[in-house]
Amino acid sequence: MATKPKFSEAETMEQYRVALENAVAQPAIAAALAELGYDTATISEGKTLLLGTRQSYDANKTEDDETSAAYSVFSGKREKLDDTFTGHRKKAKVIFRKDPVTAEKLMITGSLPRTYIKWLEATKKFYSIALSDRAIQVKLYRLKITVDDLNAANTLISEVESTRSEYLKEKGESQASTQAKDDAFAKLDDWMSEFYAVAKIGLEDNPQLLESLGKLVRN
């Protein structure tokens, strides 16, 4: 079973930020690290990696938010269409219960498919056939399904398709930004791992100073 990370990504970045700031700000730490090659210029390399990671992290959060928003819009449109189609389908099944040929054309025999593609195809077929056949429209009107109702539902199909496309686009961008963020964290973690190893060596005579770098030191 995978172990839960000790710190969140935000907490990790804050720890690294404090460590890199104090590695320069505290004279005793700065002097000890400089002797081992971690002078101000080298510490700046770590700060640059941290800045890039922060930007990747923020971009990923933005993409995740946009994906959630796009899914909410798509989900709402799909639910509205599903409710509309379910109602129309129930009425049509009653109207054409003795007309199996038309029922088959409208794809209203049997139960309504629940997987997205099959559900959408059944929905599109129903409204496409109904809107192209005046005789069907007349019969549907008996149970208060007007041509305007059929056109509105058909328009909603297009909205469902377009909002799903937008959601999938945002989802792809979110996944790409997640990969970019993970790559940035991997580079930063690797750099900070060596930084802490060097700091531990440089401060072995004064280990309490490691706490200024975000490392808990046991008494």
**Chain segment 106-164, per-residue pLDDT in tens:** 999 999 999 999 999 999 999 999 999 999 999 999 999 999 999 999 999 999 999 99
- 207 DSSP 8-state letter: G
CA nearest 43: which of 199, 201, 215, 216?
Answer: 199
Task: Please state the pTM of the whole predicted model.
Answer: 0.86
Q: What are 27's two structure tokens?
A: 């004279």
Q: What are 14's two structure tokens?
A: 């804050």
CA nearest 73: which of 136, 187, 159?
Answer: 159
**pLDDT computed for residue 1 by the predictor:** 46
> Helix %, strand %, coil % for the chain, to 5?
80, 0, 20
Judged by phi (left if over 0) then psi (alpha if -120 to 50, else beta), residue 144 lies in left
- 176 DSSP 8-state letter: H
**pLDDT computed for residue 7 by the predictor:** 82
Q: What are 84's two structure tokens?
A: 């509309």
Q: What are 205's two structure tokens?
A: 């005579």
**pLDDT computed for residue 197 by the predictor:** 96
Tell me which residues of the chain have a pLDDT lower than 50: 1-4
